[in-house]
A and B are shown apart, each in its own frame.
Chain A
Amino acid sequence: MLIEITHDPIDPDAVRRSVGGSHDGAVLLFLGTVRNHNDGRTVDGMEYEAYEEMASEVLRAIAEEAATALGTDRVAVVHRIGSLAVGEVSVAIAVSSPHRAQAYDASRYAIEEIKKRLPVWKREHYTDGERSWVRGQTPRPVEEKANMSEPPSDGRPGSAGAERGKGGMA
């Protein structure tokens, strides 16, 4: 599986190709990008920071859980850190599956878990020169989390309430 925290620009097609797909009927590619506005302010860039050693491990765990939900190991997840301009890709998730339902579930699961527990932060740069950290979600220890959310294998990842933080990806 392609799982990576990278300082380099993401090539979405390379991420998609890494999951193959010739024997599957559904290949799904999700891209998170930097948008040009948030909370009524004009954004001209985003700076991503990670606790890199831990983020690599957490990203691998998320990808493996998504693969379990998908029923194949054809999952790729790449997250970029560093300074990104508006429109650039910050995260790419590719999944390949015989059928679309599992592909959508696995892809959704991966992005929701990234937002809940990947140790990555982002700071918006506004056109007026100000910068501010984007409000996010507080990660929970696993033993506590197990009582609070559904296991990944039930095929219904994510929830409407999951996105409490402001800003980031459209």
Chain B
Amino acid sequence: MRVQTRFFAFYRDLLGSTELTVDLPDGATVGDLVSSLRGRGRPFDGLPVAPAVAVNRTYRGLEAHLTDGDEVAFIPPVAGG
């Protein structure tokens, strides 16, 4: 399956990109996606092991299963207000 990742604020600066399409095995979780990205080495290993993530605009944990076409946003600590 294929998911669309998005990066904001500090994470965008870290990676130098706003989005990336990632291929994953069927049944992969958010945690698998994070491991896969971090496994690419620099600068991806600068992402936290357990970042906050939103799948299709809802916060989800690392154990959440992904499906083809999901939008997965990496959410740095938020600072609205």
> Interface residues, chain A, CB within 8 Å of chain B?
32, 48-51, 53-55, 57, 79, 90-91, 111, 114-123, 133-144, 165, 167-169
Contacts and interface: CB of A to CB of B under 8 A. Distances in A.
A114 B61 contact: no
A94 B54 CA distance: 28
Contact of B78 (A111, A139, A142): A139
Contact of B52 (A118, A120, A139, A142): A139
Given A119-B73, A141-B61, A143-B61, A136 B54 contact: no
Interface residues of B, number: 21
Contact of A111 (B6, B13, B54, B81): B81
A79 B77 CA distance: 17
Given A140-B59, A141-B60, A135 B78 contact: no
A133 B77 CA distance: 10
Contact of A118 (B10, B61, B80): B80
A120 B6 CA distance: 14
Contact of A116 (B58, B64, B78): B78
B73 A121 contact: no
Nearest to A57: B57
B37 to A, nearest CB: 18
Contact of A90 (B73, B76, B81): B81
Contact of B76 (A50, A53, A136, A169): A136
B75 interface: yes
A80 to B, nearest CB: 10
Q: 10 closest pairs, A vs B, by CB?
A: A136-B79, A120-B80, A121-B9, A136-B77, A54-B57, A118-B80, A141-B59, A134-B79, A114-B80, A136-B78
A139 B80 contact: no
A71 B77 CA distance: 31
Contacts of B9: 49, 121, 123, 133
A119 B81 contact: no
B8 A168 contact: no
B81 A169 contact: yes
A122 B79 contact: yes
Contacts of B77: 135-138, 165
A141 B80 CA distance: 18
B54 A135 contact: no
Contacts of B61: 141, 143-144
Contact of B75 (A119, A134, A142, A167): A119
